[in-house]
Chain A
Amino acid sequence: QVQLQQWGAGLLKPSETLSLTCALSGGSFTNYYWNWIRQPPGKGLEWIGEINHRGGTNYNPTLKSRVTISVDTSKNQFSLRLTSVTAADTAVYYCARGNNRYPYWHFDLWGRGTLVVVSS
C-alpha cells in the first residue's frame, strides 16, 4: 500500500526553525512533485511549496524567504524547513504527492498531518 508517513517536532518557540520530514513507502519517487501544505486552525489549506525527484523546487511567494524543501531520493524522503517561526505559523502541516499531467493537476496521496504549535 502506497503511503506517506510524516514526522517532526510539534512544539516550537518563536524564532525557532520548523523541521518536518515525509517518507514515501510502497511507491515510486520519480515523476511526481512532493509538496508541503499547511492549514491553520479553523482555516483553509495553504500551499507551501514542492520539490521533484531531481531537487527542483517551487515555493509559495509569501513564504519563499523562510522555506527550504529538500529531497533524499536514496530514502524516498523529502523535508521542510521553515525558519523564524511565529504564532502565525501554527498549523497542521501535510505532506502530499502532486501529480502533474498538463492540463491535469492533483494531490493523489496525503500524509496524516502534523500539528505544529508555536508558543513561547
Chain B
Amino acid sequence: SSELTQDPAVSVALGQTVRITCQGDSLRNYYASWYQQKPGQAPVLVIYAKDNRPSGIPDRFSASSSGNTASLTITGAQAEDEADYYCNSRDRSSNHVVFGGGTKLTVL
C-alpha cells in the first residue's frame, strides 16, 4: 500500500512559524489529516478535512496541500506545541489507511 514520508525532526524558535510536510501518492486522492502526540498520550487530531480544526485546537494550526504533498503549518509556535506530529491518509486504490513516520517538533 501507499506510504507517507515525513521529515524525522524539525525545530522552530519560539514564536516563529514552522511547516511540517508529508508526501505520498495517497495524497493525490485523499486529503491528509494531522495528529499531535505528546509523550505518554494518545494522538490528538489537529487538522481534518483539508484545513479544519477540531474544537479546542488553536488557530495557529493550519494545513495546505498540493499534488502528493501535504503541509501542516504552525504560525507562532508555542512551547506546548513541542510534540510528535503524524500525517494520515487513505489509499484509494488499496483502501488501506496509511500513516507518515512522524515528525518530532522541537520548540527552541
Instruction: Please state if B49 and A101 are interface contacts (CB–CB under 8 Å).
Output: yes
Task: Count A-side interface residues using an 8 Å CB cutoff.
Answer: 26
Closest B residue, CB atoms, query A113: B42
Instruction: Please state if B42 and A104 are interface contacts (CB–CB under 8 Å).
Output: no
Instruction: Please state if A104 and B98 are interface contacts (CB–CB under 8 Å).
Output: no
Instruction: Please state if B49 and A106 are interface contacts (CB–CB under 8 Å).
Output: yes
**B108 to A: closest C-beta gap in Å:** 22
Contact A107 to B33, CB < 8 A, known contacts A44-B86, A101-B49: yes
Residues of B within 8 A of A50 (CB): 97
Bound together, the chains give a CA A112 to CA B96 distance in angstroms of 23
B21 at the interface (CB under 8 A from A): no
Instruction: Please state if B43 and A45 are interface contacts (CB–CB under 8 Å).
Output: yes
Bound together, the chains give a CA A45 to CA B44 distance in angstroms of 13
